[in-house]
Each structure stands twice: as structure tokens, then as C-alpha cells.
Chains A and B, each alone.
Chain A
Amino acid sequence: MVKPKAKVDRKKCLACGGCISVCPQDALSMCGGKAYVTASKCISCAICIKTCPVGAIDEGRDAENGI
């Protein structure tokens, strides 16, 4: 089974950029003032999920990745 990829809850994201700076795959970037996951680059390591101070990143279902 494919591991679920990270997904940003845009309502919760406060755009601090922490997830972007720790993502080892460069899968995160700032898009429209919020963090955004490029699903094809995400390796489901969950580092961003743990780093987020407000819990705005979660494991999403594949179809829901990104915005």
C-alpha cells in the first residue's frame, strides 16, 4: 500500500515556513501565502507534520493532496 502524503490544512496554516525549511525532498513551498505540498515529491517522512507548531499538516488521502 502507498503511504499517505502530507497535506496542508490551508485554514490552519500560519505560513511560518518551518515545514519548507526541514523538508528533505523540497516538496514544500509557499503558494498563495500558505504552505503547499507537491505530492509527487513527498516521500511521507512526516517531518513536516511533526514540525508544524499548530498542527496544520496531516496525512492526507492521495486524491486530496495539495490545494
Chain B
Amino acid sequence: MEYDVVVVGSGPAGSVTARFASEAGAKVLVIERRQEIGVPVLCGEGISRKIDEWNMLEGTRWIAGRMDGAHIYSPDRTCVTLSAEKAGNETGYVIYRDIFDQELARLAIKAGAKFMMNTQATSLIKDKGKIKGINAKHFDEEFEIEADVVVGADGVESKVGQWAGIDTLLKPKDLETCCQYTLANVDCKDAYCDFYLGREIAPGGYVWVFPKGKDIANVGIGLLASLSEAGLAKKLLDKFIEKDSRLKNAEPLRFLAGAVPVANPVETVRDNLILIGDAARHVDPITGGGLTHCLEGGKIAGETIGKAVEEQNFSKEFLSAYEEGWKKAFGQKIKRNYLVKEIMLDMDDKTFNMIAHSLKDIKFDEISTYGLVKEVAKKHPTLMVKLLPLLKYRKKFKELKGE
């Protein structure tokens, strides 16, 4: 089998890369180890409305509900509210991730990409150190897929990156271990997504309640693996649900587990190789959100690969346009929020309560972690010292964006 590009993994990052590479004229194959795209769902299913501007999805079938804003609850349940700029202007969506992923794959297929299910990458094909494609397995059948570019879109446990010699091992302090129920018979008062913080609630993470339309909600938890014990995520989530008046009469439609990298990104480009999405650690270390990065990064990767195929240049140097692109788009944000994550880990519940008290009357008109951090620095000069490195990043970030 011969292709210009082989993409390992058919999540959003893989499909978007495949789509834009195909649109640019490349011959693309996507392989997926599972039997159905987007299944099982491993996601909280919240996404920013930023995606509207990108026009990467058609229709509304993938939307479960609109999100009007967010409530962040400190350990003593003091609430900080973030809402859309204007009333009626949603800040994002809660989506059906399976339909969302299939829609992105459909558009990649429409652009000309080929897809193979039940196909697992087993190793890279290398010739004198040069990557020439991947060895794959479809049930008991083993075969070679030759390609000029291998795209590792194989998630948090990425093997493609590891095979290429990139250190993809995550420290437990850089991984959120998660689980989530989709519950029915939830009393969803409004279309706000709720976040609950606290050492007793979710050490090094948070509990979320995302209304999914009607009386359905995704209720999940993420803990830092370094603060976790065997099965603790599920135990704490069950405890939270039992105690919450809105949730205690709810029943589950679905239960799932997930793992989210909350780390600094890894090297994403080598000769004939690109890493993307969770495999590249393209996740906001504070929120654990990564979908928008998959879409933004996937487009940049696909376009870069398109040009590489046109010029028949697959060197690290040429493919670096992708790395420069994502760094400009969201790399500084990830770096900055990684530092905020480290600072937040040192804070105790008392500090979170104090901060929430001082912010509870402020009207934040957008869901932005930077807006919150800036306000904290203003209100609490003592925390300012710890936040200083961030301001440095903000300055660099502004310079990059030409502000």
C-alpha cells in the first residue's frame, strides 16, 4: 500500500489533518484501531464557540446543547460566574462527541481521504533511520503502509511519537485521570457549565457538570494522577453525585474513563513525521480542553503536509511550518497555563475560597482563564510574586500576536 500520508488515529486531530492534506491534493490514508469512529466517547464534550468562526463543521447534528456560561465553585461553594458578552450569546456548546468525530471524518472522506477501521499501527517502517511508513495489523493480517509522512494522532498513549524517538512519557503530575457519567433526570436549571474545585472534591483537578439538553448532563471528575489512588476518581465522583441535590435522583446512561495530558507540549516534528492532538499534548493544562487545538492544529498540519507533498520535501525543516503555526496559535497559552497549573497546585482550599470571595461580584464577560488570572493578580498582590513568570509569557504572547 502506498500513500503520501498515513494518519494514525481518527479522532478530531487525525480527521482534520486528513481533510486539509487531502484538499491540498495529498493521497491520505487514516487508520483507526477501533471499529467505529468517535466510539467510545472519551470526553467531557464541551467546546468553545470559537469553532463557529472556523467553519470546519456542517449542520448542527453534533450539538447537544448550547452553553451560556460557566460557574466556578470554590471549596466553600462561593460562585464565580463567567458568561457570554451579551445575553443570548452562547459561549460554547456541549456536543455529541461521537457524531462530532464522525462529521469531521465525513468531511475528510469527502475531501478524498481513505479510512480503515480495526487497523492498528504496530511499528514504524524505517530504512537507515528514515521513516518510510508504518507496519499495521488488521485482525490477523499484517501489512506495510508506505507513506512520505506519518501523522501520529494516536492520543494520550501515543506510540508513534515514542517509536520516532520522542520522549512521550507523562509524569503522573502531568496527567489528569478522569471518569464521567452521562446522567438522566438531572435538574438542569440553566445552560451553564459548572466547575467544582477543592482538595476533598477533586485533588489537583475538578468536578464538572455540563448540561446536555433536556434533563441530561455530563458529570465528570479529573484528578491529578500524582494525587490519585487506585479507583479514587470514581469514588470521589460517586460521592459528589450522592451529595448533590440536583444529581442524587439521576440515573446513568453512560459511564466512561479518560486520561488527559496537562503537560508542556512535546516536540511535534521530525523528518517524515508529525504529532498532533493529545499525542502532541495540545491540551490546555488548566481546563483539560483540547478540541479547539485539534481543529486549529489539524488545519495547520494538513496544509503544511499539502505543501510538503507538492514540493516533495518531507524534512523536519520543511514540516516545521506546522510547529511554528501551532505555537503561534495556542502554544504560548499552553505554556502560560501550565505555569498557572503549577501555582494552583500549591494553593490550599483556604486560598481558593479567599480568591473566589474577592471575584464573586465581578462580571466576567468571557470564558477566559487569563481574565481570571489577571483579576487574581490585581486583588491579591501577595500572589503576584508567584504569578510574575506569567506576565512574562503574556508579554511575549502579545508581541507574537503583534498587539
Q: Which residues of A contact B (CB under 8 A)?
A: 14-18, 20-24, 26, 29-30, 33, 47, 49-58
Contact = CB atoms under 8 A, between A and B. Distances in A.
Interface residues of B, number: 35
Nearest to B179: A53
Contacts of B232: 53
A52 B230 contact: yes
Contact of B228 (A16, A24, A29, A51): A51
B382 to A, nearest CB: 33
A54 B33 contact: no
A55 B157 contact: no
Given A50-B228, A51-B225, A53-B179, A21 B169 contact: yes
B128 to A, nearest CB: 24
A47 B259 contact: no
B42 A16 contact: yes
A30 B169 contact: no
B156 A50 contact: no
B91 interface: no
B172 A50 contact: yes
Interface in B141-185: 155-159, 162, 168-172, 175, 177-179
Nearest to B229: A50
Interface string B207-237: 0000000000000010101001111111000
Contact of B177 (A18, A29, A30, A33): A18
Given A21-B158, A53-B179, A53-B231, 12 more contacts: A14-B40, A16-B177, A18-B175, A20-B156, A22-B172, A50-B225, A53-B178, A53-B228, A53-B232, A54-B231, A54-B234, A55-B231
Contacts of B42: 16
Interface of B: 33-34, 40, 42, 155-159, 162, 168-172, 175, 177-179, 221, 223, 225, 228-234, 255-259, 261
Contacts of A14: 40, 179, 255-257
A50 B225 CA distance: 7
Given A30-B157, A51-B172, A21 B230 contact: no
A17 to B, nearest CB: 4
Contact of A21 (B40, B231, B256, B261): B261
Given A17-B157, A18-B259, A22-B169, A50 B230 contact: yes
Contacts of A57: 230
A47 B228 CA distance: 10
A15 B255 CA distance: 12
